[in-house]
Amino acid sequence: MEVLKTQVREKYGEIASQASETKGCGCGCSPSSSEFSMIGDEYNKVDGYVADADLGLGCGIPTDLAGIEEGQTVLDLGSGAGLDVFVARKIVGEKGHVIGVDMTPEMIEKAKKNAKKHGFSNTEFILGDIEALPVDSGTVDVIISNCVLNLVPDKQKAFAEMYRVLKPGGHFTVSDIVLSGGDLPEAIQKAAEMYVGCVSGAMQQDEYMNAIAAANFQDIATLKQRTIPIPQDELEKFLSHEEVEAFQSSGTEVLSVTVKGIR
């Protein structure tokens, strides 16, 4: 697990460092395949959008469906350069507060620079691990996350931590990647490049929902879902021609989902 965390931290540190030259790619893609992006230009139309914080990472726009209200305290897990934090801060207003937690020092540094550049006073960025959140218990109204929980090796611990920091009646709305209909080939599951792109670490959809329920969340629901095709050239990096054909005929799907649960 620590090896995977190191790989993810190094990869996203590299993306943060190179962000001034080029964007990354959507969660679930490698730098060589721009077609595997899951966001496109949707964020450009979102109120509170900050271009400096948009590294092209993500698999949804969780703030659209999160039910965030003015004055609330919001926590963004895996906050990157601050994109979703800055969208959420626009909603909560100056009476609210948005906390971003990320395990990559380069991302935290970039997010703080972005906040300072734009004069945002209602945001905070903390270096930390989602499996051991540096946030007090029962202090958060809403948790958001954008294609990050899939990168966490111990998802059950992550959901338990989310439950701990939420206030009674608080809720989470997260976008993530899950599987349906079968497993990914072993070569893809072990490929670090695909892992940091959010694909090879994906859980089965039913297991993902069961893990949320096991953390005692209530009224769990999938608010949005769509299939994400893996491009042929990406599969061919890790699989033989015969293995690609077998996978494509297996019925396995990679899904982008936005899920909600209440504490």
Segment 46-59, tens digit of pLDDT: 888 887 777 766 67
Task: Encode pLDDT of 212-263 as tens digits.
Answer: 999 999 999 999 998 888 888 888 888 899 999 998 999 999 888 999 999 9
Percent of the chain with pLDDT strictly greater than 90: 52
> Which amino acid is present at 258?
T
pTM for the whole structure: 0.85
| Total tally of structural domains belonging to the chain | 1
**Cβ partners under 8 Å of residue 192, min gap 6:** 4, 7, 11
pLDDT given for residue 192 in this prediction:
60
Confidence of residue 190 (pLDDT cuts 50, 70, 90): confident
- pLDDT of 80 > 60? The answer is yes
CB of 263 closer than 8 Å to CB of 212? no
| pLDDT single digits (tens) 139-161 | 999 999 998 888 888 899 999 99
Residue 82 is part of a domain; what is its CATH number? 3.40.50.150
Range of the domain at 137: 2-262
Helices (H), ranges, the chain? 2-18, 83-92, 105-118, 155-165, 186-189, 192-196, 205-214, 232-235, 241-248
Judge contact between 95 and 120, C-beta under 8 A.
Answer: no
Quote the tokens at residue 92: 């909560």
Predicted local distance difference test score (pLDDT) of residue 25: 44
Cα(142)–Cα(58) distance, integer angstroms: 19
Quick one: 134 exposed, middle or buried, by C-beta within 10 A (0-12, 13-18, 19+)?
A: exposed
70 exposure class (CB count in 10 Å sphere: 0-12, 13-18, 19+) = exposed
With CA atoms as reference, report the closest residue to 219 among 175, 263, 158. Answer: 263
How far apart CA 177 and CA 204 sit, in angstroms, is 9
